[in-house]
Amino acid sequence: MKNISLIILLFLVSLTVLGQTTEKHYSSCGSKENRCACVVEYALKDSVQLTHIKNQFYRSSSGHLYEKTDAATRDGKDFIAYFAGCISQEVDPFSFVELDGWFAKDRNNVYYFRPVSGGMQIVKLEKADTKTFRIFEGIYILGIDKNYLYNETDIVKEIDVRNYKVCKNETDDGRTVKITSGKETVEFTY
């Protein structure tokens, strides 16, 4: 009788986590030393376990932030909506705004905000200044603030943002931009 009770209990527990993927991860909700064990993602059918905050953002009862997003199916012919939890936990959903290109910001931080196969990637740019950050017009991979030039998530240290020159070039092979500062020239393809 104890074995049957144990089997039923295990079956019920498996039903409650069906559709959820749990694993330890290095999201910003936990440091490498103190990994969080939050649910990494929720299936659309499990959204009743989340509270809608604003726009694409939802929160679990534990306070973990999720983004409702779409991912392509394996055959690439359709999309599946789900809730991704491997995003920066510092996002302020109430002031979060997408910028042109692969960046976004809220009142506190700037984020690299790029489409990936599993939805949207949201990574905090640690040193970015929210007040002065902007996107280079027409160059979705580059951002700049009063201190740094950013190529996606990387700081381009060769460029002095107080004194630079931009030269765009479009060819049949793609688009490139050269940014020159003093004797340094850095070229980007996008």
Domain assignment of residue 6, yes or no: no
What is the band of 33 on the pLDDT scale with cuts at 50, 70, 90? low
Give the start-end residues of each E strand in 94-155. Answer: 97-98, 103-105, 110-116, 119-124, 134-135, 142-144, 149-151, 154-155
pLDDT score, position 1: 54
Average pLDDT of the segment spanning 147-170: 93
Which pLDDT belongs to residue 129? Answer: 98
- Give the range among 44-53, 68-77, 178-187 with minimum mean pLDDT: 68-77
Rounded average pLDDT over 107-132 = 92
Q: What is the pLDDT of residue 20?
A: 43
Q: What is the pLDDT of residue 59?
A: 95
Helix (H, G, I), strand (E, B) or coil at 7: helix
Q: Over the stretch 52-99, which tens digit does the pLDDT of each residue have?
A: 999 999 999 989 999 998 888 888 888 889 999 888 999 999 999 999
| Closest among 42, 46, 48, 49 to 67, alpha carbons compared | 42
> H helices of the chain, where?
2-17
User: Is residue 1, in this structure, part of any structural domain at all?
Assistant: no
What is the mean pLDDT of the segment spanning 162-186?
88
**Residue 14, pLDDT score:** 38
Residue 91 near residue 81 (C-beta atoms within 8 A): no
pLDDT of residue 32: 53
- pLDDT grade for 34, boundaries at 50, 70 and 90: low
**Quick check: is 186 in a domain?**
no
In-domain check, residue 128: yes
DSSP assignment, residue 107?
S
71: nearest Cα among 120, 131, 20: 120
Q: Could you tell me if residue 140 is inside a domain?
A: yes
CA-CA distance, 122 to 102, in Å (whole number)?
Answer: 10
The answer to whether residue 164 is domain-embedded is no
Question: How confident is the model over 95-110, as a mean pLDDT?
Answer: 95
Least Cα distance to 136 among 125, 126, 127, 148 occurs for 148
Q: Give residue 172's pLDDT.
A: 74
Match 């999309």 to its residue by tokens. Answer: 79
Q: Is residue 154 part of a domain?
A: yes
Computed on alpha carbons and rounded to an integer, the radius of gyration of the chain in Å comes to 21
- What's the rounded mean pLDDT across residues 96-124? 91
The domain tally of the chain equals: 1
Q: Dihedral sign, CA of 56, 85, 45, 62?
A: negative
Is 93 domain-assigned? yes
**What 8-state DSSP symbol labels residue 93?**
T
- pTM metric for this prediction: 0.76
Range of the domain at 33: 20-159
